[in-house]
Structure 1
Amino acid sequence: MRTSSVALAAALAVVSITTSLSGQKPDPAIDPRSMQLLEQGRAQKAAGNFDGATDSLETAVAVDPRNRAAFVALAEVAEARDLPGKAIRLYREALLLEPNDLAALRGQGEALVAKGAIVRARANLAKIRTLCKTGCADATALAAVIAKGPPITTAAVVTKPATAKE
Structure 2
Amino acid sequence: MRFAPAAAALSLALAMTASITVGQTRDPDPRAGVLIAQGQSALRAGDTQGAIDAFESALAVDPGYTPTLVYLAEAARADDLQGKAISYYREALARDPHNIAAIAGEGEALAEKGALAKARLNLAKVQSMCGDSCSETRELAAAIAQGPRAPVLTAEANIQPQPQTN
What band does the TM-score fall into relative to the shorter chain? Answer: 0.7 to 0.9
**Where does 1:16-95 land on structure 2 (aligned, <5 Å)?**
16-23=10-17, 29-95=27-93
The alpha carbon displacement at 1:16 in A equals 4.4
Give deviations 1:28-76, integer Å, cap 9, x for gaps: 6421111111001111122222222111110101111122222112111
**Where does 1:1-166 land on structure 2 (aligned, <5 Å)?**
14=8, 16-23=10-17, 29-153=27-151, 156-159=157-160
Which of 1 and 2 has greater Rg?
1
Structure 1 distance, partners of 2:79, 2:16, is: 45
Structure 2 distance, partners of 1:136, 1:101, is: 14
List alignment gaps of at least 5 residues for structure 1.
Answer: 162-166
Q: Among the aligned pairs, what percent are the same residue?
A: 41
**What is the aligned length?**
155
List alignment gaps of at least 5 residues for structure 2.
Answer: none
SS state of the match for residue 97, structure 2?
coil
What TM-score, normalized to structure 2? 0.77
Contact 1:66 1:97 in 2 (8 A): no
